[in-house]
Every structure is written in C-alpha cells, then in structure tokens.
C-alpha cells in the first residue's frame, strides 16, 4: 500500500490508492507507541496539529472490519507549532495547538494588532485553552520547560494568528420525497468534515470527511426528529469540534411571490431529481419558484415531480413529449414568473446560499448576469471549475469574458452557475437543433452589457449521475456537424456589434477540438471562422 505524504505549512496531507476497502485508519507515533488518530472512507486525509519535532505515521485499510493491508511507515519533522482557533459564540476563542514533546506547559500571548507587542496572559498544561475573543488582538502560543527558580525556558513559538470566526450561518430541514428528509447547512470557516446527530444523542448517525459537503438526505426518521450538525477538524489528537449547530426541526418557509425562477429540465432522473429539487427548496432565499420540465421521461420521474407539486406551492411542473433539451428549457422559460432565472440540471445541487448571494450581487451591481464558480464532483473529489480572472462584487464588461472564453484555461460554458435577468433570457431563449450550452452561453453574454462575479463556488455538478450524454450515440461526422452548427448559431445570432469577438470565440473553439482530436476538419473550420467564411 503506497502512502504519499505532502506537507502543507504546518499540516500533513496523506493520500493513497483505492484498495477497495470500506475504511482507512491512520496511526501516529506518540511516546513510543502507535495509536489511531483518524479514519476515513476516502483515499486522502488532512491532519492538523502535527507534533513539534520528529514523527511517524502509517495507514491501514479495512474491509468488513478486517485489516487487509498496511502501508509503510512515513516519517516527518516539524519545527513549527500548528494552531486551530475558532470563535463560535462571538465572545470566546477556542484554541488548540500542537503537542511539543518535553514541554512543561503552553503559554498564550496576546498583542495589539497595530503595535504587535505581545504579553503572556495564560498558561495551560493541555493542548487546548479558551480565552476572551477580541477581533483587534493577535495571539501566539509558546511551549515552555520549567527552568530554575520558576523561570520558563521557551522551546519555540507559533506564528501570530487571529481566531477564525466559524459556525453554521443557516441550517434547514425539509420534507423530501418518499417520507424522507433533506438536511442542508451553510457553514462558514474551515472543517475537514461533519457529524450529524439526532438531538440529545452522543453518537453520530452520519459522518463525512468531506469538508465541502453541505447537504444530506435522511431516510427512515420520524418527521418530528430534530438534528444537530458538528463541524470537525482531523488532528493528531483525534477530531476537534470547531462548530456545533442548534437543533433543527422541519422547516416551514413563507413563500409570497416568485422573485427567482429556477428551471429544472429532466429526463429519466428518478435517482437524482429529489435531491436536486430539495437543494433548491432549501435555499436561504425565500421567494424561489421551481419549474420542473419533464422531457418525456419513461421511468418514475413524473411520480416524484407530482409529489413535490402537491407538497410545495412554489413548485410547478410542465410536461412535454421527448424532444430536444433546448425546447424543454424554453418551455420552462416561457412559464417563469420571477424577475431572475437560474437553471439546475438533474446532476446538480445548489448550495444553500447560492440564490441569495447571486441575487444580492446582481441587485447591488445593476448587472444582467451574476456568475460563480462551481464544483465538479466525482466519487473521489471536488474540483473547482469555471473560475474567472475578474475582481468580484463589481460590474465587468461582458467583452472581457468573451475575450477569454474557450481559451485553454477558461474553457467553460456551463449554464448552472449563473443567475440571469429574466427579461434578457426571455428575449434570447435557447437555440434549437444545436449544442445548447456551447452556443447559448456566448450568445447570451454577447447580448448583455455587464456581468458580476463572485469567487466562491455555489453549486455542484455531479459528473457521475448525468442522465443523458447524447454525443455518445452519434457518429464522428454527426458530432462534427453539431459543433459546426453550434458555432454558426453564435456567429449568426450573437450581437452584431461584437462580431470580431464572436469570430475569435469560434476560432478558439475549433482549435481546442483540433488539438483534442487531431482531426484536421476542426483546424480547417477554425481558419474559416476567423475569416468569416464558415458556412
């Protein structure tokens, strides 16, 4: 079992190949003995509070409770003190720090942020202390040995730090399809994972080592059950709880008028649609209407849709015989009542604050489109996608986006990570008979004057649950023709005042596929597009 180790500052990242195990345990050396300090079902883990000095660790894999493999021992050395600090109640800072072998104790120093002069204020014999929080104060931890006549001999010192204000900004619990519930939370701060408890229970009913997780489907619990969430950090001394939510019961939200319409086109999505709709209903933003367009599903998708329509007055549904994705989306657009429109796919989840943050961004900056990155999710990892090189929370000329679209670094045209002015979308709906996303994103951007951007990923696109991948059933010639028609739509229907920008997009798009496929047809189309002769 090959164990890889990466030192990131004062933390350790361990990773290993998937051994087909259902649990991996991490063991670390302490006082001459190896002990279990962390466990995960994944293939990587970050450990904080690495001990000062030399250390050793290894990983064991388990299947059905039986150890099946053990990694070699990896050695490491730290000459710094790592610190975890958090403020949950606004008044007190909880401070955890690395163990320093041979230390008699640890002394907390506090200093003025401007003068940066530090004074010792508190001692501890353990690896944790609590102190009054002041946002204008810097802190340090110094391990020491007791010297002669009560003099302290300091071994080392941590970097100065400010405690991180962390906690659950919101937690909601919604009824979900088939007598289930959907728990969603908006967490601020750093966490390696979360534990879910029923109220008054000492043992978690669920845990995840994914610190980016923000929701959970709960099955087989009474609707009257209340739940508590704890955020934790993995350390060499075990898990440290850095935040705890208040107990949450079923959420009843007032819905007055549709300010934002979220359109959800679906086809044979019985396995994913409930969670997608749940994540929209759990938005912190109150006045969201959900328009589900069933594009000729033949499984139980319609049955699930009917349940949501019956149980939530802000959910409506449209049904259409199996047709192009674009026609299904346009049907939703026609029936949208909100001032703004967003889209969500069957493999997408919205973070609880997505609509509220994009809504506030677009309102404050008087722009027509608000954009955020997203997470592309696989079974193993969250990868940030669709990042843009723009200053956040200000207006940006859409020409700036068009200038970089389809370059190698910014090859992103997804529709799920944006909020649009409804009037803009209704005037410029999705094209027919072409690749909708490739063509519509440059098209709609060219028809808008300004957009605004936020750097925080606000939705997830699951790469393993997409129901329909139409290109997989097409011949090579048909795929080429689809790409060509998508680009022709951009050139013919995009803003004529931005003709040169659109020609640049067309050229870069074909050049990308030329490199990807080594097909000379794409290189030829790139040349024709640049000259304005693509037909």
Q: 249-292 pLDDT, tens per residue? A: 998 888 889 999 999 999 999 999 999 999 999 999 999 999 99
Q: How distant, in Å, are the alpha carbons of 9, 60, 72, 405 from that of 46?
A: 12, 16, 18, 35
Of 438, 462, 486, the domain-final residue = 462
pLDDT tops 90 at residue 432:
no
Segment 109-119 shows an average pLDDT of: 82
pLDDT at residue number 166: 85
Q: Are residues 199 and 325 in the same domain?
A: no
- Count: domains in the chain: 5
Q: Would 296 be classed as within a structural domain?
A: yes
Q: Would 253 be classed as within a structural domain?
A: no
Q: What DSSP letter does each residue of 318-376 carry, written as one string? A: EEE-S--HHHHHHHHHHT--SSEEEE--TTEEE-TTHHHHHHHHHHHHT-SEEE--EEE
Q: Are residues 158 and 173 in the same domain?
A: no
In 3-state terms, what secondary structure has residue 135? coil
**Which pair of tokens denotes residue 61?**
């894999």
Tell me the CATH number at 320.
3.90.550.10
Q: Are residues 279 and 238 in the same domain?
A: no
Q: Are residues 445 and 353 in the same domain?
A: yes
Segment 300-327 shows an average pLDDT of: 95
Q: Are residues 159 and 282 in the same domain?
A: no
8-state DSSP, 481: H
Of 47, 78, 109, the domain-final residue = 78
Q: 373-387 pLDDT, tens per residue? A: 999 987 667 889 999
Q: Are residues 215 and 348 in the same domain?
A: no
* Domain region containing 20: 3-78
Taking the C-alpha atoms of residue 197 and residue 195, their distance in angstroms, rounded to an integer, is 7
Q: How far apart are the first and last CA of the chain?
A: 56
pLDDT at residue number 253: 83
Of 51, 78, 105, the domain-final residue = 78
Order of strands across the sheet with 3-8?
3-8, 11-16, 44-47
Q: 473-503 pLDDT, tens per residue? A: 678 888 899 899 999 999 999 999 999 999 9
Q: Are residues 405 and 457 in the same domain?
A: yes
**Which pair of tokens denotes residue 346?**
């069957």
Tell me the CATH number at 237.
2.60.40.10
Q: Would 185 be classed as within a structural domain?
A: yes
């Amino acid at each position: 079992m090959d164990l890889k180790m990466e030192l990131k500052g004062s933390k350790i990242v361990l990773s290993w190949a998937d051994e087909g195990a259902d649990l991996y345990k991490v063991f670390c050396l302490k006082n001459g003995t190896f002990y279990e300090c962390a466990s995960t079902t994944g293939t990587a883990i970050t450990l904080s509070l690495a001990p000062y000095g030399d250390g050793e660790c290894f990983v064991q894999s388990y299947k059905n409770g039986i150890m099946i493999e053990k990694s070699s021992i990896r050695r490491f050395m730290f000459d710094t003190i790592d610190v975890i600090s958090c403020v949950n109640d606004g008044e007190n800072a909880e401070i955890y720090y690395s163990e320093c072998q041979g230390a008699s104790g640890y002394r907390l120093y506090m200093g003025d942020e401007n003068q940066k002069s530090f004074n010792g204020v508190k001692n501890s014999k353990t690896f944790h202390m609590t102190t009054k929080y002041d946002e204008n104060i810097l802190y340090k931890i110094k391990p020491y040995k007791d010297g002669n006549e009560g003099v302290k001999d300091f071994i080392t010192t941590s970097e100065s730090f400010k405690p991180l204000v962390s906690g659950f900004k919101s937690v909601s619990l919604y009824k979900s399809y088939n007598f289930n519930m959907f728990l969603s939370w908006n967490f601020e701060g750093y966490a390696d994972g979360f534990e879910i408890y029923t109220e008054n229970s000492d043992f978690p009913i669920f845990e995840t080592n994914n610190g980016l997780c923000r929701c959970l489907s709960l099955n087989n619990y009474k609707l009257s059950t209340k739940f508590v969430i704890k955020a934790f950090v993995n350390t060499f001394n075990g898990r440290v709880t850095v935040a705890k939510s208040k107990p949450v019961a079923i959420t009843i939200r007032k819905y007055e008028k549709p300010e934002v319409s979220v359109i959800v086109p679906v086809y044979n999505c019985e396995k994913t649609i409930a969670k997608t709709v749940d994540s929209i209903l759990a938005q912190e933003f109150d006045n969201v209407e959900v328009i589900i367009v069933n594009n000729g599903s033949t499984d139980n998708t319609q049955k699930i849709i009917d349940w949501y329509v019956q149980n939530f007055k802000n959910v409506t549904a449209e049904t259409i015989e199996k047709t192009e994705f674009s026609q299904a989306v346009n049907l939703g657009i026609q029936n949208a009542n909100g001032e703004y429109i967003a889209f969500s796919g069957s493999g997408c989840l919205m973070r609880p604050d997505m609509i509220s943050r994009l809504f506030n961004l677009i309102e404050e900056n008087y722009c027509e489109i608000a954009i955020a990155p997203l997470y592309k999710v696989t079974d193993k990892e969250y990868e940030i996608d669709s990042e843009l090189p723009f200053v956040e929370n200000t207006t940006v000329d859409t020409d700036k986006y068009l200038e970089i679209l389809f370059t190698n670094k910014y090859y992103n045209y997804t529709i799920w990570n944006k909020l649009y002015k409804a009037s803009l979308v209704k005037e410029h709906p999705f094209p027919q008979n072409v690749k909708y996303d490739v063509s519509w994103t440059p098209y709609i951007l060219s028809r808008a004057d300004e957009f605004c951007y936020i750097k925080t990923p606000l939705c997830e696109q699951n790469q393993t649950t997409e129901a329909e991948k139409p290109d997989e059933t097409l011949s090579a010639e048909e795929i080429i023709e689809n790409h060509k028609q998508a680009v022709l739509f951009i050139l013919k229907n995009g803003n004529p005042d931005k003709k040169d920008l659109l020609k640049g997009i067309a050229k870069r798009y074909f050049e990308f596929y030329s490199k990807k496929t080594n097909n000379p047809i794409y290189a030829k189309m790139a040349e024709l597009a640049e000259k304005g002769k693509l037909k």
